[in-house]
Structure 1
Amino acid sequence: MGSDRTPASALTKVHTVSITFVRLLSDFTGFYFQAANLSGTTLINVNFSEANLYKALLNYADLSYADLYQAYLREADLREANLFKAKLNEANLMLSNLCGASLWKATLCNANLWAASLCDADLNEADLRKAKLVEASLIGANLFAANLSEAKLWGASIGEANLTQANLTGADLRWANLSGADLTEADLRGANLDNANLTGAKLDKTIMPDPAMQPGKPIVSCPLTNFVCDLRLFASTQA
């Protein structure tokens, strides 16, 4: 850490973090904010890259355009936070709470979101390429036109989510629960749906992993293991 920055030890305790101090600076690269209370703080365009924000309280904070590259946000509280166009590439968000957060057009490439809570989050056009969303909760999330190519969604709960026009090419959706999800015009080419549950999912013009699974064509055989779906979805002819 450069000599022009406050030493990490000065920010060790949550009570030492002043919101005024945070507002005065904009570059917190590598800073230590463990368990800091920044709820509701305006942090637009702030640089938190490689910062330690373990268990930090950032609920309702405005982090639009913020740079959180490789930030450590494990178990952080980001409920209802504004992360519009925030850069979270390679960030560690394991077990974090992002329920109701706005991540519209945010970039989360290679981010670790293992078991994170993203229920009702807005991920419209978010870039989640190769993101790790194993056992994450995305129930009711808006993933319209989101890029989830090669994302790890093993065991994720994605029920009732909006995945219209989402890119899920090469995604790992084994054991994922997509019941009731809207996959209209989503691209699932190369995705692994072994043991996935798509009961009640909307599959209008969805590009499925195997041509035999396309809506409008009866399924005679399926190469996937224990694929669960409502076969009536494939029985009706597309308009």
Structure 2
Amino acid sequence: MTQIIHKDVGTLGDLVGCHPELIHLCDEKQIDFCCGGDRSITEICRARGWDADDFLAEVRARIKSGEDGPVPTFETGQVAPLIDYILDRFHAGHRRDFEALVQMAGKVWEVHGAKWPRMGVLSQLIDHLIKDICPHMLKEEQILFPMMLTQDQGRQGPVMCPSGGPAGPIAVMRKEHENVGELLASLAVVTDQFTPPTWACPTFRSMFALLKQLSEEIRLHVHLENNVLFPMAAKGKSNVPGG
């Protein structure tokens, strides 16, 4: 997978998909590379008031450094390996984290709810996040991913992709990703960027650490789907019999 490094060519999502090491640069500069990855470097810099050439120099330097990214790079056509990676790391991982998070949040609410008034809002946000993501993952597992795998198999043989292909479900998933992104932003605000109070007990601190880790993992999850997997499916559609 290659990407021309130019401020007006391609989107940030495309660039990060080819060079996952840029995720660290995006985090440092608080740039949304997952749900907001459909913008060019020029658009991002114009919105921030940055010099695009200076930022582009930082991008090239980070790529040249050889730094490892937090997720692997997947080549065009690696639909099945990418789906397996998403299922193993993110779907299974989110479910484990949610279970631990609910237990910790319950303990913190019981012991510190009165001392930290924002705990009620935080508990509601956690509940909304879980109720958004768990059904979302099920729809991917039961509908979208099998459809994508059928389409991918169709490139090599007579397997027919269901009528309409995955475009419709992908549009729904993208919209749901935006909703999750808004919840993550709200979580960051309520927790002061996941910074626990100075008086917080070990369970309280562990809850904030898990929330931060979960937020980072969800953003990586959304990035791999929005900027890597979904474009793969769009490119493969024309090669599918009947597609």
TM-score for the superposition, normalised by structure 1: 0.20
Kindly indicate whether structure 1 or structure 2 has the higher relative contact order, using CA contacts under 8 Å at least 6 residues apart. Answer: 2
TM-score for the superposition, normalised by structure 2: 0.20
